[in-house]
């Protein structure tokens, strides 16, 4: 009987070899990755939540952090000033995909980022559980709060940049929401809150600064026209340009009028400075048609239109359409037709002008730190593009200062600070829907420290009476003051 | 004349102490780590836990020293280690279940069952002085086994859990009688096969190059098998059914050495599987789950979906190479994480590394059991140990294979680890019996056994033998095989040829069949006072040597006695003059 016994022991050995091979395959082979990524795998969420996720820090204060709790997840995400910072932090949810910095800096926050490898190895030896790193933002809390307060109950958005670096100083979107309600550990409660937010007609979860429905930029787009005109070298701020009360582009019978049908300059011509000061439409439309769609598109794209950008959240590209005919181009030149922009985009236009024509890439994360607070990454400001020359920038600065000092931008005046700005009142094109009020500016004009763009949807509190001047400019002034004051 | 194996395997009782300490360290530190990782402090009952486990180990060890001093020293520590790890994991899952407000308290119950299991194992070691005593109960074991199998179908005491009617409930306790039936049926199969093996082996018709047994020999076995499997089909438990089948086929194969049984067995499996697949929707569902586990439709199907299996796979994948660490994973997300799916829990928290280590522990237990089967001299013991060793290995295969999706999932428990009293108790008794058999297998040849006794030459030879044993220690491999190299074999057979005074060459190994035959001849013509009985015995052994299974004999085994086995109960007080009663069923060419 020994011979079959030996064979039996070989069979037993073979069975175990099979088991071991299969266990290796399942646990450490190709299927393991797919199983770990399976959306039905609750462990992935537990793993994310079970980690001591690092905080999101604004000026030394944690605006989002994780606190140990006694439930299966182990940690509860806390948002100290949820709605104020929601467009920045986004939310971290067990049920829905995370957004904002929570999503885009996830690797650092949960401690899996490559830059934290060394610390993970240390933890392996010291036996500590994996801790996340912290993320420090560029946000200036004073500017953020000022923008939040000044927007009040109006729907809209504010972006403030440091034109010298591209650092995002303020990113406010209203209405907002509290990410805490989505960070709960009760799936049903989170689902309910999510559904409520989704059904809210004001779209509180949309970050209007970079990812909302894009807005027609209206007259603020004239800064792009002006850049193209001055860059051509054929014009100076004092050049007299055609400024009829009505301009009918070739190929259409629909004329373009100045705001309120007003007379611009002497009724036939105006200087560029004057045209910008009172925001005439006809000179910009006619010059754009004269110089061609390609030239304007090129200039717009140099400022960032039609370009991808991540800050680290993805910024919806602002749109300047291609293949425009003359009537469309004439409309586009005054920020209408299919031209669409994010507040981020218009802040970038101001920032480029402020920074001697050099557009710095906007960014939100200043510093990344490991769990032990060692700095593991610092933002390096980079140049996004050079849309205009320093000379053009200087001319435009002067003209924009004139807008605030003597023109439509007067509500943005700040005592003792030279503000350069441009208003915009973008028609919705829909009957009964009030225009969007725009203002973009930077200050101080001689040493720019902040560039800002404000949009207030559907006229805000003033409705059809709204203009960029009355609704948006005061908000911009407040944000500029907050930045300069701090 | 007979030849002898000179080397006395070390009993290893002292080595066992070291291994037991190691096993206790593994089990108790796992328990401590669970507490540290889950609550930040050592479990309050850590010392009690340690004392109980250590106490059980000490009692088992002393029982072995007292009643089975030559028993395998590796098996017990391995089983203690597995049981301890299982207890730690069950306690760990209790904590998670409690925190989710679910019924817990499995760890305490499992500890109680462990104590009961160990007590029964000690009783088995102490009371069962010789495993051949069990042979007397061949047919009563059959009856008792079948009664146990049928118990869950009795209306009042039967309990149905998750669609399988496999439990009996008495008071608040429930018990799975099939686990005990496993032992009884193994005893029956061993007793029956060893009596009928000649008929099963030699008679029959040859077909397709394979010799198939006569229908009359086959009938009673197939009947018993059909009854046990039929009962299980009625009770709707695929796993136990498969287990009995594996036990049956493996023991039949060992008894008869005939591959035709394997063929018949596999055919029966195939027929059974097809029949079950077509007849029982729950079996068909199991196959769907196995083949299309990740399909959303199958995943969400309720009942009979793949949710549990896939969640177990998620756990295994989450464990990866090193595991999450005890208490730091989420094994409780899998239904039945402490019983049917304890493998997934272990794989998640101990990782692939831990799971492989656990599998190796089981593998060594099974191989040690098979080693005992090879070593023991009587056919009944061989069959019994082989059956038990295989049933443990096979159960692990079915459970781990099911959880890792190698084979369709069936509802079996992981021996020694899964929460569940019946399985734990039954497996502890199985280990006790295997230890008993291994004691017989490893017991040094009593003076007189294995050679012609009552003659002066032999007495001198035995003195030599003892001296030799004192200075020789044979190298032992992982699974305890004693290896005899070819060189060793051939040189010693050369000695056998040169020196006809067989007894004076005590370190003999028999190289070939012809050597054996020559020695047998030699012995038959020996002037020593061979009785007729001895001649008959030698004659039988000769016939057996020429028999179908004899070809490999002597090639690698140390050949001991030709003539007789001394009954185990009398081993300790050899009587040089007694020839002993020769059991015609017992192996004669057995190795050491």
pLDDT at A274: 86
pLDDT band with cut points at 50, 70 and 90 for residue A358: very high
Distance CA B2, CA A94 (A): 77
The SS3 of residue B338 is coil
**Structural contact between residues B64 and B125, judged by C-beta atoms closer than 8 angstroms:** yes
pLDDT band with cut points at 50, 70 and 90 for residue A473: confident
pLDDT at B574: 39
Whether A371 has a pLDDT exceeding 50, the answer reads yes
pLDDT at A120: 63
Taking chain B, what is the end-to-end CA distance rounded to the nearest angstrom? 18
From the list B317, B362, B393, the residue facing A31 with the nearest CB is B317
Q: Report the range of poorest mean pLDDT among A201-210, A353-362, B205-214.
A: B205-214
Range ranked top by mean pLDDT from A392-396, B499-503, B516-520: A392-396
B209 or A482, higher pLDDT: A482
Contact A42 B382 (CB under 8 A): no
B570 or A202, higher pLDDT: A202
Q: Report the range of poorest mean pLDDT among A40-54, A281-295, B103-117, B434-448.
A: A40-54
Tell me what the mean pLDDT of segment A381-407 comes to: 89
Range ranked top by mean pLDDT from A267-281, B39-53, B229-243, B438-452: B39-53
Share of chain A above pLDDT 90, in %: 18
pLDDT at A119: 65
Tell me what the mean pLDDT of segment A363-381 comes to: 84
Contact A1 B328 (CB under 8 A): no
Enter the tokens of residue B442. Answer: 């490893």
pLDDT at B513: 41
Whether B80 has a pLDDT exceeding 50, the answer reads yes
The residue of chain A nearest to residue B386, with distances taken between CA atoms, is A5
Which residues of chain A have a CB within 8 Å of the CB of B99?
70-72
The residue of chain B nearest to residue A11, with distances taken between CA atoms, is B390
Delineate the domains of chain A, giving CATH numbers in brackets.
218-365+383-485 (3.40.710.10)
Cis status, amide bond into B376, omega within 30 of 0: no
Q: Report the range of poorest mean pLDDT among A83-92, A276-285, A379-388, B551-560.
A: B551-560
**pLDDT (tens digit, 9 = 90+) per residue, B221-238?**
677 777 767 776 777 777
Contact B316 A23 (CB under 8 A): yes
pLDDT at B534: 37
Distance CA A68, CA B251 (A): 57
Known active-site residue A219: yes
The C-alpha of B248 sits at a distance from chain A's nearest C-alpha, in angstroms, of 13
DSSP letters for B405-424: TSS-------TTTSS-HHHH
Q: Report the range of poorest mean pLDDT among A211-220, A355-364, B147-156, B464-473.
A: B464-473
Q: Report the range of poorest mean pLDDT among A65-79, A91-105, B201-215.
A: B201-215
Closest CA to B365 of B483, B239, B478, B250: B478
Whether B472 has a pLDDT exceeding 60, the answer reads no
Q: Report the range of poorest mean pLDDT among A282-286, B341-345, B393-397, B479-483.
A: B479-483
Whether B529 has a pLDDT exceeding 60, the answer reads no
What b-and-e string marks burial along B273-310, b requiring 16 or more CB atoms within 10 Å of the CB?
eeebeeeeeebebbebbbeebbeeebbeeeeebbbbbb
Distance CA B34, CA B32 (A): 5
Enter the tokens of residue B297. Answer: 């439709």
pLDDT band with cut points at 50, 70 and 90 for residue B360: very high
Distance CA B290, CA B409 (A): 7
Contact B590 A2 (CB under 8 A): yes
Whether B170 has a pLDDT exceeding 50, the answer reads yes
Identify how many contiguous H helices and E strands chain B contains and give both numbers. 19, 5
Q: How far is CA A164 from CA A144, A354, A451, B221, B281, in A?
A: 19, 8, 10, 92, 72
From the list A2, A13, A32, the residue facing B317 with the nearest CB is A32
Which residues of chain A have a CB within 8 Å of the CB of B317?
26-27, 31-33, 35-36, 41
Whether A386 has a pLDDT exceeding 80, the answer reads yes
The C-alpha of A39 sits at a distance from chain B's nearest C-alpha, in angstroms, of 11
pLDDT band with cut points at 50, 70 and 90 for residue A165: very high
Whether B129 has a pLDDT exceeding 70, the answer reads yes
Beta bridge partners of A146: none
The helix (run of H) or strand (run of E) holding residue B158 is strand B158-161
Q: What share of chain B is helix, strand, coil (3-state, %, to 5)?
A: 65, 5, 30
From the list A5, A32, A129, the residue facing B320 with the nearest CB is A32
The C-alpha of A7 sits at a distance from chain B's nearest C-alpha, in angstroms, of 9
Distance CA B381, CA B394 (A): 19
pLDDT band with cut points at 50, 70 and 90 for residue A379: confident
Burial (0-12, 13-18, 19+ Cβ within 10 Å), B568:
buried
pLDDT band with cut points at 50, 70 and 90 for residue B211: low
Contact A16 B363 (CB under 8 A): yes
pLDDT band with cut points at 50, 70 and 90 for residue B7: low
**Structural contact between residues B316 and B330, judged by C-beta atoms closer than 8 angstroms:** no
- Summary mean pLDDT of chain B: 75
**Structural contact between residues A349 and A223, judged by C-beta atoms closer than 8 angstroms:** yes
pLDDT band with cut points at 50, 70 and 90 for residue A48: low
Q: Report the range of poorest mean pLDDT among A272-281, A365-374, B562-571.
A: B562-571
Distance CA A457, CA A434 (A): 8
pLDDT at B81: 96
Helices B75-99, B46-67: axis angle to 10 degrees equals 160
Distance CA B276, CA A363 (A): 65
Range ranked top by mean pLDDT from A8-17, A237-246, B287-296, B527-536: A8-17
Distance CA B435, CA B223 (A): 31
B217 or A436, higher pLDDT: A436
Contact A5 B96 (CB under 8 A): no
pLDDT at B173: 66
Distance CA B483, CA A142 (A): 83
Half-sphere exposure of B416 (CA within 13 A, CB side): 26
Whether B28 has a pLDDT exceeding 60, the answer reads yes
pLDDT band with cut points at 50, 70 and 90 for residue B220: low
Please identify which of the residues A93, A176, A180, A219 carries the catalytic annotation: A219
Enter the tokens of residue B78. Answer: 């391995």
Whether B303 has a pLDDT exceeding 60, the answer reads yes
pLDDT at A27: 92
- What is the ipTM, given to two decimal places? 0.76
Q: Report the range of poorest mean pLDDT among B172-186, B326-340, B526-540.
A: B526-540
Distance CA B468, CA B474 (A): 12
Range ranked top by mean pLDDT from B116-125, B172-181, B532-541: B116-125
**Structural contact between residues A300 and A320, judged by C-beta atoms closer than 8 angstroms:** yes
Contact B314 A12 (CB under 8 A): no
Share of chain B above pLDDT 90, in %: 34
Size of interface A-B (CB pairs under 8 A): 148
Given the DSSP bridges, would you call strands A365-369 and A450-456 parallel, antiparallel or unpaired? unpaired
Taking chain A, what is the end-to-end CA distance rounded to the nearest angstrom? 92
The residue of chain A nearest to residue B369, with distances taken between CA atoms, is A9
Helices (H), A111-200: 117-126, 141-151, 187-199
pLDDT band with cut points at 50, 70 and 90 for residue B3: low
Which residues of chain B have a CB within 8 Å of the CB of A70?
99
| Window 37-96 of A, Cβ < 8 Å to B | 38, 40-43, 46-47, 50, 70-72
Distance CA B175, CA B166 (A): 8
Whether A105 has a pLDDT exceeding 50, the answer reads yes
Closest CA to A288 of A253, A358, A337: A337
pLDDT at A233: 85
Distance CA B28, CA B35 (A): 11
Q: Report the range of poorest mean pLDDT among A137-146, A177-186, B397-406.
A: A177-186
Q: What share of chain A is helix, strand, coil (3-state, %, to 5)?
A: 45, 20, 35
**pLDDT (tens digit, 9 = 90+) per residue, A442-468?**
988 888 999 999 988 887 777 777 777
Range ranked top by mean pLDDT from A320-324, A385-389, B555-559: A385-389
pLDDT band with cut points at 50, 70 and 90 for residue B148: confident
Q: Report the range of poorest mean pLDDT among A71-75, A260-264, A482-486, B471-475.
A: B471-475
């Amino acid at each position: 009987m020994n011979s079959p016994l030996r064979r039996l022991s070989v069979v037993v050995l073979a069975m175990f070899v099979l088991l071991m091979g299969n266990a290796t395959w399942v646990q450490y082979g190709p299927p393991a990755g797919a199983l770990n990524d399976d959306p039905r795998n609750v462990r992935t969420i537990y793993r994310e939540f079970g980690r001591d996720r690092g905080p999101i820090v604004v000026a030394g204060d944690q605006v989002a952090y994780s606190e140990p709790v006694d439930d299966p997840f182990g940690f509860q995400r806390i948002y100290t000033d949820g709605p104020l910072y929601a467009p920045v932090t986004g939310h971290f949810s067990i049920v829905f995909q995370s957004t904002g910095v929570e999503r885009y800096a996830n690797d650092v926050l949960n401690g899996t980022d490559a830059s934290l490898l060394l610390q993970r190895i240390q933890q392996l030896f010291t036996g500590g559980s994996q801790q996340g790193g912290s993320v420090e933002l560029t946000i200036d809390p004073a500017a953020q709060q000022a923008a939040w307060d000044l927007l009040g109950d109006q729907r809209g958005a504010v972006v403030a940049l440091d034109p010298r670096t591209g650092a995002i100083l303020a990113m406010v979107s209203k209405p907002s929401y509290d990410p805490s309600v989505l960070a709960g550990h009760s799936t049903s409660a989170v689902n309910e809150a999510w559904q409520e937010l989704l059904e809210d007609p004001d779209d509180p979860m949309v970050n209007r600064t970079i990812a909302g429905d894009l807005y027609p930029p209206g007259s603020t787009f004239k800064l792009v026209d002006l850049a193209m005109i001055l860059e051509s070298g054929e014009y100076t701020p004092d050049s007299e340009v055609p400024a009829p009360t009505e301009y009918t582009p070739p190929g259409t019978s629909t004329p373009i009028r100045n705001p309120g049908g007003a007379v611009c300059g002497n009724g036939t011509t105006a200087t560029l400075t004057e045209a910008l000061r009172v925001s005439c439409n006809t000179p910009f439309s006619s010059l754009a048609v004269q110089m061609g769609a390609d030239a304007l598109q090129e200039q717009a794209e140099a400022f960032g239109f039609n370009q991808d950008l991540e800050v680290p959240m993805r910024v919806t590209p602002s749109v300047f359409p291609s293949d425009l005919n003359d009537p469309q181009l004439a409309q586009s030149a005054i920020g209408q037709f299919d031209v669409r922009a994010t507040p981020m985009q218009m802040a970038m236009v101001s920032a480029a002008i402020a920074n001697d024509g050099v557009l710095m890439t906007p960014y939100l994360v200043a510093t990344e730190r490991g769990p032990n607070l060692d700095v593991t990454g610092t933002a390096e400001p980079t140049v996004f593009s050079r849309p205009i020359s320093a000379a053009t920038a200087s001319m435009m600065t002067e003209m924009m200062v004139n807008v605030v000092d003597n023109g439509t931008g007067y509500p943005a005046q700040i005592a003792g600070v030279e503000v350069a700005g441009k208003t915009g009142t973008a028609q919705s094109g829909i009957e009964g829907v009030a225009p969007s009020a725009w203002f973009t500016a930077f200050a101080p004009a001689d040493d720019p420290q902040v560039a800002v763009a404000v949009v207030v949807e559907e006229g805000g509190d003033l409705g059809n009476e709204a203009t960029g001047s009355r609704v948006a400019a005061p908000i911009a002034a407040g944000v500029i003051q907050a930045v300069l004051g701090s | 004349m007979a030849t002898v194996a000179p080397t006395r395997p070390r009993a290893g009782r002292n080595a066992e102490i070291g291994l037991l300490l190691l096993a206790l360290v593994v089990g108790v530190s796992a328990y401590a780590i669970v507490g540290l990782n889950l609550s930040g402090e050592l479990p309050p009952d850590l010392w009690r836990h340690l004392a109980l486990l250590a106490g059980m180990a000490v009692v088992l060890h002393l029982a072995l020293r007292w009643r089975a001093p030559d028993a395998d020293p590796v098996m017990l520590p391995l089983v203690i280690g597995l049981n301890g790890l299982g207890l730690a994991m069950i306690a760990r899952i209790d904590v998670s279940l409690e925190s989710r407000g679910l019924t817990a308290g499995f760890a305490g119950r499992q500890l109680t069952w462990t104590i009961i299991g160990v007590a029964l194992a000690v009783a088995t070691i102490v009371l069962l002085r010789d495993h051949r005593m069990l042979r007397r109960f061949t047919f009563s074991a059959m009856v008792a086994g079948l009664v146990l199998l049928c118990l869950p179908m009795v209306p009042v005491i039967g309990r149905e859990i998750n669609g399988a009617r496999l439990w009996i409930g008495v008071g608040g306790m429930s018990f799975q009688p099939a686990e005990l039936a496993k032992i009884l049926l193994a005893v029956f199969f061993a007793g029956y096969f060893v009596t009928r093996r000649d008929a099963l082996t030699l008679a029959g018709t040859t077909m397709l190059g394979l010799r198939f047994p006569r229908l009359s020999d086959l009938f009673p076995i197939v009947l018993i098998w059909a009854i046990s499997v039929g009962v299980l089909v009625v009770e709707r438990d695929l796993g136990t059914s498969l287990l009995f089948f594996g036990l049956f086929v493996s023991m039949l194969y060992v008894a008869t050495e005939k591959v035709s049984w394997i063929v018949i067995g596999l055919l029966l499996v195939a027929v059974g599987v097809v029949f079950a697949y077509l007849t029982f929707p729950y079996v068909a569902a199991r196959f769907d789950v196995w083949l299309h586990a990740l399909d959303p439709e199958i995943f969400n199907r309720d009942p009979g979906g793949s949710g549990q299996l896939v969640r177990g796979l998620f756990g295994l994948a989450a464990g990866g190479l090193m595991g999450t660490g005890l208490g730091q994973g989420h094994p409780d997300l899998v239904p039945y994480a402490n019983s049917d799916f304890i493998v997934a829990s272990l794989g998640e928290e101990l990782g692939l590394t831990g799971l492989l280590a656990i599998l190796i522990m089981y593998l060594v237990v099974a191989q040690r059991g098979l080693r005992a089967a090879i070593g023991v001299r009587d056919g009944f013991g061989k069959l019994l140990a082989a059956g038990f060793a295989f049933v443990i290995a096979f159960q692990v295969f079915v459970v781990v294979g099911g959880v890792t999706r190698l084979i369709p999932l069936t509802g079996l428990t992981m021996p020694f680890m899964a929460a569940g009293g019946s399985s734990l108790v039954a497996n502890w008794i199985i280990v006790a019996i295997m230890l008993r058999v291994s004691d017989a297998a490893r017991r040094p040849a009593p003076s007189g056994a294995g050679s012609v006794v009552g003659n002066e030459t032999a007495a001198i030879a035995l003195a030599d033998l003892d001296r030799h044993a004192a200075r020789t220690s044979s190298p032992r491999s992982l699974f305890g095989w004693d290896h005899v190299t070819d060189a060793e074999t051939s040189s010693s057979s050369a000695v056998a040829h040169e020196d006809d005074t067989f007894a004076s060459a005590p370190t003999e190994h028999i190289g070939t069949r012809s050597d054996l035959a020559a020695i047998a001849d030699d012995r038959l013509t020996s002037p020593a006072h061979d009785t007729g009985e001895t001649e008959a015995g030698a004659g039988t052994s000769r016939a057996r040597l020429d028999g179908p299974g004899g070809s490999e004999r002597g090639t690698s085994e140390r050949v001991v006695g030709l003539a007789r086995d001394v009954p185990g109960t009398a081993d300790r007080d050899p009587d040089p003059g007694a020839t002993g009663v020769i059991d015609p069923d017992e192996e004669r060419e057995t190795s050491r």
